[in-house]
Amino acid sequence: MKNLTTKSLLIICLVLGFLLFQECQKNDKSYQEPTGLISLKKAEMYEKNYLENQYKFINEKLNKPFIDTIEGVDMQVSDYIKDSRAIRFSLEELENYIKYVKAYTDKQYAKDEISLRVYFGAKNVKFEKDKDSVMRSTLFFIPTVKEVTRNTEAPHQNINQLNPLNYGSAGDPDSIEYKTKG
């Protein structure tokens, strides 16, 4: 009888251990896959569309006063001022900003009411001591909250009590176009 109890207990422990192991493997992902993911091909198409439209227009307007002041000079495209076309933020920077926002909002709002809005902006950038500063594109994040009042949902409102996040790395426009590998 004692031997049967020991064997039964051992079998129960093995089954529970196996089930626990299986559950741990299922929950190995500590995140949920985002719903807004796009394919690499679509991202490449978006970058191409941007370069052929907005980026081209911005650079033409950015250089118009510069080109108009230099008559009769044959300038190469490389001589033109080029706007930023990509801005990089480190994962640590973004994680810290999200923690900053959560620390403020967790006690005041439900998680599904908070989001980040991305604004496009422009700032003066000085590259060399003997040149004037140049206006370059940038972007910044600001947290928002979905306002819900009397069964109506208003658009997300900026949380102006928190500072926006800027100062990603843009620098000179890189020469690397967005391309998929393969």
The domain segmentation of the chain, as residue ranges, is: 37-71, 84-172
Residues 6+ apart with CB under 8 A from 173: 82, 83, 84, 85, 86
Nearest of 59, 168, 67 to residue 120 by alpha carbon: 168
Triad 57, 59, 65: Cα angle to 5°: 110
Average pLDDT of the chain is: 75
Residues 73-124 have pLDDT tens digits of 555 555 677 888 888 888 899 999 999 999 988 888 888 888 899 888 888 7
Q: Which is higher by pLDDT, 151 or 75?
A: 151
pTM: 0.64
What does the pLDDT read at residue 37? 80
Nearest of 122, 110, 116, 70 to residue 95 by alpha carbon: 116
Run of H or E including 139: strand 134-149
